[in-house]
């Protein structure tokens, strides 16, 4: 079954097509959920919510662009919705309030395995982690992040800078 047949099968309610879609994309989408959620069970719950939205929105998919990109966007938005529900994003902080410098140094990140990097990102406070993922990994601008999270652009920049500083500190401790 090719991708188009699978999507049309899901729209028609075919359990076989739904299982195929889940089997193909669940591992990739779980990694996205794990970047936003600290614990595996919470990431799995969010993934389930994302698949409910994906299946529910398939009739709106126009077969334009990359399907995987479309479902990744739904997954990221589902993660953000969950974080909003938790109301754990940090309050508005001015960029001028950042009391530390971030120096650029190369680290031996090559030593770290993907799981170790994921654990470092998961250890970030919720607000830092969310902005870091959206900016550094998903490629959103601070203006887009501010709009999506209902925060100021300076808060987005502050959260990102603090996330980088936090990760830098953790990486330096690993290097020692």
CA distance 147 to 143: 6
How do the domains of the chain map onto residue ranges?
A: 3-86, 95-175
pLDDT confidence of residue 76: 93
pLDDT confidence of residue 174: 73
pLDDT confidence of residue 55: 96
The dihedral sign for the CA sequence 35, 37, 40, 45:
negative
Q: What angle do CA 11, 14, 16 make, to 5 degrees?
A: 130
pLDDT confidence of residue 100: 41
Correct CATH for 95-175 of 1.10.260.40, 3.20.20.10, 1.10.10.10, 3.40.50.720: 1.10.10.10
80-97 tens-digit pLDDT: 999 888 765 544 444 444
Mean pLDDT in each 10-residue stretch from start to end of the chain (176 residues)?
A: 93 95 96 90 95 95 92 94 72 42 44 72 88 90 90 92 89 74
Q: Taking the CB of residue 39, how many other CB atoms lie within 10 A of it?
A: 10
Residue range 3-86, CATH number: 1.10.1740.10
Alpha helix (H) residue ranges in 37-175? 40-57, 67-86, 114-122, 126-132, 142-149, 153-175
């Amino acid at each position: 079954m090719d991708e188009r047949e699978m999507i049309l099968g899901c729209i028609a309610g075919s359990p076989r097509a739904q299982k195929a879609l889940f089997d193909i994309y669940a591992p990739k989408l779980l990694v996205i959920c794990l970047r936003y959620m600290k614990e595996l069970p919470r990431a799995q719950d969010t993934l389930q919510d994302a698949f409910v939205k994906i299946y529910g929105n398939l009739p709106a998919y126009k077969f334009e662009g990359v399907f995987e990109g479309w479902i990744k966007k739904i997954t990221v938005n589902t993660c953000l919705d969950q974080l909003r529900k938790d109301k754990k994003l940090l309050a508005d902080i001015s960029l001028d309030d950042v009391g530390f410098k971030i120096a650029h140094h190369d680290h031996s990140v090559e030593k770290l395995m993907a799981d170790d990097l994921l654990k470092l990102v998961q250890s970030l406070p919720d607000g830092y982690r969310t902005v870091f993922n959206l900016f550094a990994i998903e490629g959103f601008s601070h203006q887009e992040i501010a709009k999506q999270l209902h925060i100021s652009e300076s808060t987005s920049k502050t959260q990102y800078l603090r996330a980088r500083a936090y990760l830098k500190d953790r990486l330096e401790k690993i290097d020692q």
